[in-house]
Chains A and B, each alone.
Chain A
Amino acid sequence: MPIKKILIETVVITVVATLLGFANNFINPNRVAITAMRPVAPSASDAELEADSLQGPVVVDREQLKKLVSEQGAILIDARLPEEYDAGHIPGAINIPIELFGEFIDTIEALPRDAWLIGYCDGPPCDKGKNMAEELFYMGFMRVAYYDAGMDDWKSSEEVQR
């Protein structure tokens, strides 16, 4: 087998493709930012955070989350599995695994209707926090958000409760 030839051709094709790919991505209006951080959904406006009711769940960033918790007594809901919750969660958060939503229905019904509820997961691409927020919104909770950047972002600078 002409291994050397196969290798050379493979390497040259890959190098040329890499150069063309980067050139295209540089001039293309649909370019993707080459970065290690997954883009996070844009967070809510101040007006949305002060509203009595929303059109749908909104996204909050870390600072908005902390403010909602300290100033408005927001309830944090960790939508991950119990073992993930036990390994470390945002202080004060309760655990309602999205997979077990039905089993927690009594807990959910008992949550105050006028409180902010904020779901979260590890961060993109995990969308359990978003799914949690959507479920809660459909159940009639009016002020629902999710912390899209999630646990990955929280861990980077804040205290974790075990």
Chain B
Amino acid sequence: MKFKKMLLLMSRFILGAVFIFAAVGKIYNPAAFAGDIDNYRMLPYILVTLMAVVLPWIELICGVLLISGKWLKGSSFIVIIMNIMFIVAIASAMARGLDIDCGCFSVGSSASRVGMVRLIQDFLWLALAVIVFRDAIKKRA
């Protein structure tokens, strides 16, 4: 019981910190983030720009909610969906042999490349988000 509580708390804090950290650089520079998204060559440009503008704020809000322990159902649900999106995007970029900046944490030239490390990381975040989500929906509102 105690272990479970610890695991849950750690999942929330790690995930929250990761998403807040990931959001800050993108919020600072939407243009560079749009370039990173566009490099994946998966979306029409209008969706690229909308995503560059809105996605970092979803990350930030979810990060804050996860750490503060409020609205865990919605925030962990969104984080699960986002991580599935990231995994699909990175896997597809790798399958197509694209050598591009990930756009995961930092944007523009300082960003790290897409690759197996990023993919594994996203699976880890996904697992943490599922832990939080499962617990959140068990509790009564």
Are A and B subunits of one complex?
yes
Residues of A within 8 A of B (CB): 1-2, 5-6, 8-10, 12-14, 16-18, 20-22, 24-25, 28, 30-38, 124-125
A17 engages B141 (CB within 8 Å): no
State whether A13 touches B32 (Cβ < 8 A): no
Whether A30 and B30, one on each chain, are in contact in the complex, defined by CB atoms closer than 8 angstroms, is yes
> How many residues on chain B are close to A (CB under 8 Å)?
35
Which of B30, B32, B33, B41 has a CB less than 8 Å from the CB of A125?
B41
Is B57 positioned at the interface, with any CB of A under 8 Å from its CB? Answer: yes
* Residues in B lying within 8 Å of A, measured CB to CB: 27-34, 38-39, 41, 44-46, 49-50, 52-58, 60-62, 65, 71, 73-75, 77-78, 137, 141
Please name the residue on chain B nearest to A12 by beta carbon.
B74
CA distance A17 to B71 in the complex (A): 15
Choice from A9, A20, A25 contacting B75 with Cβ under 8 Å: A9
Given A16-B61, A37-B45, A30-B74 contact (CB < 8 Å): no
Nearest chain B residue, comparing its CB with the CB of A19: B57
Query: Looking at the complex, which one of B30, B31, B32, B74 makes contact with A10 (CB distance below 8 Å)?
Result: B74
Provided the pairs A24-B27, A31-B30 are in contact, do residues A13 and B58 lie with their beta carbons within 8 angstroms? yes
Chain A residues near B55 (CB-CB < 8 A) = 17, 21
A-B contact pairs, 14 of them (CB 8 A): A8-B74, A9-B77, A13-B58, A14-B54, A14-B58, A21-B54, A24-B27, A25-B53, A28-B30, A30-B30, A32-B52, A32-B53, A36-B44, A125-B41
Q: Which 7 A-B pairs have the closest CB atoms?
A: A9-B74, A17-B57, A21-B54, A30-B29, A17-B58, A21-B53, A36-B46
Find out whether the CB atom of A30 lies under 8 angstroms from the CB atom of B58: no
Measured CB to CB, the closest approach of chain B to A72, in angstroms, equals 33
Q: Using known A-B contacts A2-B137, A6-B77, A13-B75, determine if residue A34 contacts B38 with beta carbons closer than 8 Å.
A: no
Contact across chains for B30 and A5 when beta carbons are under 8 A apart = no
| Chain B residues positioned under 8 Å from A33 (CB to CB) | 49
Chain B residues, Cβ within 8 Å of A20: 57, 61
Q: CA separation between A3 and B52, bound complex, in Å?
A: 28
CA distance A13 to B70 in the complex (A): 12
Q: How far is the CA of A21 from the CA of B23 in the complex (A)?
A: 11
List, in ascending order, chain B residues with CB within 8 A of A1's CB.
Answer: 137
Known: A2-B141, A9-B71. A125 touches B57 (CB 8 A): no
B49 and A30 form a contact (CB under 8 A):
no
Chain B nearest CB from A8 CB (Å) reads 7
- What residues of B have a CB within 8 angstroms of the CB of A9 in the complex? 71, 73-75, 77
Q: Which single member of A5, A21, A36, A124 contacts B57 (CB below 8 Å)? A: A21
CB-contact partner of B46 in A14, A18, A31, A35, under 8 A: A35
Which partner residue on chain A sits nearest B71 by CB separation?
A: A9
Complex CA–CA separation, A31 to B35 (angstroms): 12
Chain A residues whose C-beta falls within 8 Å of the C-beta of B74 in the assembled complex: 5-6, 8-10, 12-13
